[in-house]
Structures are given as C-alpha cells and as structure tokens.
C-alpha cells in the first residue's frame, strides 16, 4: 500500500501523518479497534498516526459567534483548540463513529463542525476517510 501527498513547498510526494478522530463514547470499542488496525498499516508504511478520543468528552456545539475567524481558534477552550495544530500538521484525517439512528455520534458532529470551521488553515486537499460501526436491532 502506498500513500502519497504532494508537497508544493518541497516539490516532492510525501505523506507523514494521519489524524484519527474517534467519536465513540466507548474508548476501547469497535472504532478504536479499527483505528489500531489502521495505525499498524500506517506504521508499516512509515506514516505517523494519532488517535484523538472525542466520544466521551463534553463538547458543545458551535454558537455561530464567528470569533474564530478573527482569533484563529474557538472561544470554547477545549479539545477543539488542542486539535487545531494537529489538524494543520496532518495530511490525512479519518473520522470514526458508531451510528445512532442513522447518524454519527452527536459529540463528534459538534467537534468536527467547530474544528473545521474554526481552523484558520486551508483544509482543501486533505485526504479523508471514515470508519463506522453499526448494527440493526
């Protein structure tokens, strides 16, 4: 498996880091297990990966104040602001969530809405993927 990312600054293909955002409230559940498998593959390819646990955290939703557009960070100083520099550094992002009533975990949705909106960096061309865990009752 080969991972590529074209660096305009260096004029070469590189892929150095993947950020894995775990939206499951069960920190050692199916999403974590899938991320462990992905991390093994990334490590074999010489790619650093980091798992950010979001699911059990108290993450509030965006209030649309737009302060982040002038300060470069969210007014709520929580995991979102801690993750912003990691998002800038990563070339790839994997979002993982259990499916609740046909949707991702609400905590993950609040987190990624605030994270992506408050980021002052250009997020175009970041490689993205998702991992879901669901069952029918």
- The whole-model pTM stands at 0.86
pLDDT at position 13 is 57
Provide the domain count of the chain: 1
Residues spanned by the domain of 32 = 24-133
Inside any domain, residue 126: yes
Inside any domain, residue 60: yes
Inside any domain, residue 16: no
Inside any domain, residue 83: yes
pLDDT one-digit tens code per residue, 4-60: 444 456 555 567 899 999 999 999 999 999 999 999 999 998 999 999 999 999 999
pLDDT one-digit tens code per residue, 58-107: 999 999 999 999 998 999 999 999 999 999 999 999 999 999 888 899 99
Inside any domain, residue 18: no
Instruction: Give one DSSP letter per residue of 40-80, joined into a string.
Output: HHHHHTT-EEEEEE-TTS--PPP----THHHHSS-SS-SHH
Q: How remote is the C-alpha of 99 from its chain's centroid?
A: 17
Inside any domain, residue 122: yes
């Amino acid at each position: 498996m080969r991972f590529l990312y074209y660096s305009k600054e260096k004029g070469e293909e590189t892929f150095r880091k993947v950020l894995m955002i775990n939206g499951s409230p069960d920190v050692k559940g199916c999403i974590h297990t899938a991320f462990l498998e992905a991390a093994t593959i990334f490590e074999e390819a010489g790619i650093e990966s980091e798992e950010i646990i979001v699911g059990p955290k108290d993450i509030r939703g965006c209030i649309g104040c737009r302060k982040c557009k002038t300060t470069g960070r969210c007014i709520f100083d929580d995991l979102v602001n801690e993750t912003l520099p990691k998002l800038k550094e990563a070339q790839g992002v994997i979002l993982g969530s259990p499916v609740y009533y046909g949707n991702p975990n609400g905590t993950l949705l609040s987190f990624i809405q605030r994270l992506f909106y408050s980021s002052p960096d250009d997020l175009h061309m970041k490689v993205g993927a998702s991992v879901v865990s669901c069952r029918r009752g």
